[in-house]
Structure 1
Amino acid sequence: MLTSTQPSSNILGTSPRLSLTAIPSPRIEKRLSHTPAVSPLPLKHRLPLQSWDSHMHVVEPQRFPVSKSAVYQPAVHTLDDALAFESTIGVENLVFVQPSIYGTDNSCLLAALVKLGPSRGRGVVVVDPDNIQTETLDEWHALGVRGLRVNLQSVGKVMEKSELEKTLRRHADIARPRNWVIELYLPLKMVPMLESIAPSLGVTLCIDHFGSPELSSLPKGSDSNPFDPYQLPGFRSVISLIQAGNTYIKVSAPYRLTGDQTQHQLKAMAHEFLTAAPDRVIYATDWPHTRFTGIDISPFTEWCLDLCEEVPGLAEKLFRRNTERMLSVSSN
């Protein structure tokens, strides 16, 4: 495996916390509570060179019809549209992730990956482990596919532990010989089940979108009374998994979880991830923000940069190096 089985070093200057009560380090808590100064440089000039958007989608329903069981009908979002968007924030490299609307038909994703090329692109596909050929998987690997996605959240599916373990083992048998990652989109309340399953899978895992917490019923927090993410069922398990060294967490798609009024909660979560395992946290936009309209991802990207500001090298990890390590990308 590319990733270490030892916990990541804590470069943020605070010891990892697994207690129910989090006490943010003063240095990083300052980043949570203050209003960032407006930089004279556009966002696209401040991201690290060769940054990655580790989770985005290309959707072309006219060329590649969506599944009959799709839970929504998407608009057209081509690779050219994606590249135009990414250029506005300074991202050069893309990870195409299979959306639920295409089921196990990865044709749209693969076409975009072929067009972009493996020097700038990687792919995470969805498969039926019982109906996929080895030759097909090897062809996809040559194109830049480096992961399998298990998506429960988009279709509202909740599994018992035995079913989740069976599902992950079937996918791990495909991922393991190719050194692929398994990306999981599931509710945070299901993550504790992974603590006993993950160590025996022999593969790298990645949890999507902050772990998909349910934030609406909890106090939002404020500058004087910070939000404690350890209140969230399953949060402590995410911390344990990313510290163990073979699981990553994506800070991505904040709009799917909360509005601007609860942004403080997500900042507190991101702070804890970066404190506990700075080598296991990756940034993503979730473009084109399916089922949402009028999304501006720039403020989220700004505060991700702001959280990294006082720690040398942390932005390089969050926006580039961690993704490259997870997806076996050669880098200078």
Structure 2
Amino acid sequence: MREIPTCKGPDPDTKTPRYRPPAGACDTHCHVFGPGDVFPYAPDRAYTPPDNGYENLVRLHRILGLSRAVIVHASCHGSDMAVTLDAIARAGGTMRGVCVVDPGVTDAHLAKLHEGGIRGVRFNFVKHLGGMPDMGFFQRVLAQVEPLGWHVVLHLDAQDIVPLADTISAIRIPFVIDHMARVKAKDGVAQPAFRQLQALMENPLAWVKICGAERISSTGAPFRDALPFIRALAAQAPDRLLWGTDWPHPNIAGDMPNDGDLVDLLAEAVEDEAVRHKVLVDNPTRLYWKE
């Protein structure tokens, strides 16, 4: 029988950040996990997380001063969207979602997801989560979601962004690159992967999430070696940046971040309050609440 690893839970003692986000601030990358006895985890999942459902997410956002959220459906729940749709429905219009779909997904199913608050579809290219998807499936789904006005979220390993650059550049709908393409901070802003990310950001359809500092850091908490990357992207494309906590931080191998510290790290990286407002309020509104 296959052994499924269990990942660590988040820091339970969330700090109140020194920086108070503006009204309407949005966490555009967070997850809800279970509870497993209500929303079962997928049998073929790569990891099992500790339960952290809707109530815990709302509690976190209350401490952080965030009033909206985008739930990125996690691979451990497979393509059963029930847990994400339930949270969106309970949030009364303050949450949207990004889905995971199976090959053969129908237009009718996608329309139903849209009614439930889904506004994007995510594909994992990351090796520990299954690696490269079937590219025919990938292209078919992008064509299906285009009439809905959705975007596609790309979860990549740093070493994959250069060979995939032509494929990404050919995408005709808005595309969002997760976690700054998981570049390795120790390799600096001149590394080929980050230069390729910056080149992709010249495309007006390209967006990037300036979060995941704990995933790219080589120095550990408080992950300040991620600052040069965030600052470079903020200077290049402030109108197409998103930020999120990544709570409850699945599969963190190193230091578990405190989400209050992550809010303050964003404020340190983006010093201009007008740009912070774009990242936290205006940009999420344009992508997720445009109707």
Which bracket does the TM-score occupy, shorter chain normalised? 0.7 to 0.9
* Deviation of the 1:303 alpha carbon: 2.2
Q: Per-residue deviation at 1:158?
A: 4.2
User: Which amino acid in structure 1 is aligned with residue 37 of structure 2?
Assistant: Q
CA contact (8 A) 2:221 2:257 kept: no
Q: Cα RMSD between the aligned structures?
A: 2.2
1:238 paired residue number:
197
| Structure-2-length-normalised TM-score | 0.85
Cross-structure match for 2:259? 297
Q: Is 2:125 the counterpart of 1:152? A: yes
Shift of 1:265: 2.9
Could you give the per-residue CA deviations for residues 133-190 of structure 1, whole angstroms, max 9, x where no partner exists? 222211211121000010122635444xxx7753431221122111111001111221
Contact in 2 for aligned 1:100/1:154 (Cα 8 Å):
no
Query: How many percent of aligned residue pairs carry the same amino acid?
Result: 23
Q: Name which of structure 1's ranges 121-130 and 257-266 shifts more when overlaid on structure 2.
A: 257-266
The answer to whether 1:175 aligns with 2:145 is: yes
Q: 1:83 aligns with which of 29, 37, 58?
A: 58
AA in 1 matched with 2:203: A
For the residues of structure 2 that align with 1:44 and 1:148, how far apart are their CA atoms?
Answer: 34
Q: Does the aligned pair in 2 maintain the 1:188–1:212 contact within 8 Å?
A: yes
CA distance in 1, matches of 2:134, 2:46: 22
The 10-residue stretch of structure 1 (321-330 or 168-177) with the greater mean CA deviation from structure 2:
321-330
**Equivalent residue number for residue 285 of structure 2:** 324
Larger RCO: 1 or 2 (CA < 8 Å, sep 6+)? 1
- Unaligned runs of 5+ residues in structure 1 are 1-41, 219-227
Number of equivalent positions:
272
Find out whether 1:93 has 2:68 as its counterpart.
yes
Q: 2:84 aligns with which of 94, 98, 109?
A: 109
Partners in 2 of 1:111 and 1:230 — Cα distance?
43
Bigger Rg over Cα: 1
Cα distance in 2 for residues equivalent to 1:253 and 1:154? 17
Deviation at 1:245, TM superposition (A): 1.2
Amino acid at match of 2:282: R
Higher mean alpha-carbon deviation, 148-157 vs 206-215, is at: 148-157
Aligned equivalent of 1:12: none
Query: What is the SS of the residue equivalent to 2:223?
Result: helix
Q: Greater shift after overlay, 108-117 or 50-59?
A: 108-117
| 1:53 and 2:27 aligned | yes
Structural mapping, 1:179-198, within 5 Å: 179-198=149-168
Does the 8 Å contact 2:231/2:270 carry over to 1? no
TM normalised by structure 1 equals: 0.75
What's the counterpart of residue 283 of structure 1? 243
In structure 2, runs of 5+ residues without a counterpart are 1-15
Q: Distance in 2 between matches of 1:78 and 1:157?
A: 24
Describe how 1:11-22 pairs up with structure 2 within 5 A: none
Q: Secondary structure at the match of 1:155?
A: helix
Cα distance in 2 for residues equivalent to 1:297 and 1:152? 26
